[in-house]
């Protein structure tokens, strides 16, 4: 216990764990080319990892495609989902005439409340 005393050590500054017996996994570098700015981004993956066809450019945030040697991998976007807006989801549940009718009902209710509040202030 005395040989592992924490007296005088800065906690968190260095690890007390040894690196004996640690075997690192094989790694491979892959290059991605940005479609907007043309810059290369080199990413390190595990050697047996499934590689993504596209990556986000670190510089401009656009799509960067993987380059294998001299060829650039084509990315297929046909299966990508289109983001649905709140309006799209609302139109799945109700038609435009129904929405206009609901709007008129709510506006009438608000106008009635405002009118009742104005009359109460005038009589007081």
pLDDT digits (tens, 9 = 90+) for 30-50: 999 988 888 888 889 999 999
The pLDDT assigned to 45 comes to 92
The pLDDT assigned to 86 comes to 93
The pLDDT assigned to 78 comes to 72
**Domain 25-74 in this protein, CATH class:** mainly beta
Is 2 a residue whose pLDDT tops 70? no
Dihedral sign for Cα 67, 72, 78, 83, please.
Answer: positive
The pLDDT assigned to 89 comes to 93
> Is residue 63 very low, low, confident or very high in pLDDT (cuts 50, 70, 90)?
confident
Proportion of the chain above pLDDT 70, given as a percent: 81
Beta bridge partners of 6: none
Q: Residue 37's closest CA among 66, 69, 61, 72?
A: 61
């Amino acid at each position: 216990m005395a040989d592992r005393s924490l007296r005088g050590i800065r906690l968190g500054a260095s690890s007390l764990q040894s690196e004996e017996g640690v075997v690192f996994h094989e790694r491979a570098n892959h290059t991605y080319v940005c479609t907007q700015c043309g810059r290369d981004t080199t990413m390190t993956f595990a050697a047996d990892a499934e590689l993504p066809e596209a990556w986000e450019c670190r510089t401009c945030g656009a799509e960067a495609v993987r380059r294998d040697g001299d060829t650039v991998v084509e990315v297929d976007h046909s299966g990508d989902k289109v983001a649905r807006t709140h309006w799209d989801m609302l139109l799945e549940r109700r038609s435009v005439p129904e929405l206009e009718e609901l709007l008129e009902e709510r506006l009438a209710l608000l106008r009635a409340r405002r009118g009742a509040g104005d009359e109460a202030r005038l009589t007081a």
